Chain A
Amino acid sequence: MQSNGYIMNLRRDVFQAISDPTRRAILLLLTTQTMTAGAIASNFDTARPTVSKHLQILTECELLNQQQNGREIYYQINANKMKEVADFIEPFRQMWDDRFNKLETVMKNYQSKNKK
């Protein structure tokens, strides 16, 4: 991969991280609670090492934080990092774009109706 500096690579990694449906599902699971790797894996039919790999990727790009609690490691969402991801804002922007596209269509229909 061509390097355009550290930040660019980091960003690209974050986008890759959330483009995977399993990793998105993991993030979803962790939006409301912290969980151990075992608890997370029990939600998927995928093999445990595969889930571990996903957790590793999410942790490496700082979307997840690890928290040691006794012998267990708990995973939690790094909200600050999520904010940095443009994708975090994108669904909100998309919602408004859809809404405004509809407004435009509705008003164009109204315009042509009233011209007749």
Chain B
Amino acid sequence: MENKTTIDIKEGKQDLLITREFDLPIELLFKAYTEPELLEQWMGTKVIKLENRNHGSYQFETSYNGNVVFKANGTIHEFKPNQKIIRTFEMENMPIGVQLEFLEFEKLTETTSKLNMQVIYKSNEHRELQLKMPFVNGLNMAHDRLQQILTNKN
């Protein structure tokens, strides 16, 4: 599948822009963010709480082998169906801290839509930590593979 997600990161700033076009009508794209059962399926996390309204809040939790391995929460500042969600997001027990998210849902055609997501971090350093996470995970996987190769050689 072709890569449709773009990430715009400006040097020295503390935010980033994530853009993606979907082969989905805008109502369905928005639904993916507001229906717990659907959100759980694509986010791969359990939805503990999700109040889709101004000043509502939400909580996600992921367990692995009976242990909670991921917890996130936030409050919804503004909720406009099929238009936008402004909310905070924070992964618990992580040094990245709380981030502010502007999600803009844009109708392109009757069957396609676009999501513009601006994420603002506390500082440039916090943004750096966030970007580094998947990179380090990738390196970890590369390292694991390397160790496998080395072990098999011996």
A residues sitting closer than 8 Å to B (CB atoms) are 21-22, 24-25, 27-28, 31, 44-45, 79, 83, 87-89, 91-97, 99-108, 110-111
Contact = CB atoms under 8 A, between A and B. Distances in A.
Given A45-B150, A110-B28, A111-B28, A93 B5 contact: yes
B135 interface: yes
Contact of A103 (B22, B132, B138): B22
Given A99-B43, A107-B38, A28 B20 contact: no
Interface stretch (B66-74, B90-98, B100-108, B139-147): B139-147
SS of A interface (majority): helix
Interface of B: 1, 3-7, 9, 11, 18, 20, 22-24, 28-29, 31-32, 38, 41-44, 115, 128, 130-140, 142-143, 145-146, 149-150, 153-154
Most B-side CB within 10 Å, residue of A24, A83, A102 = A24
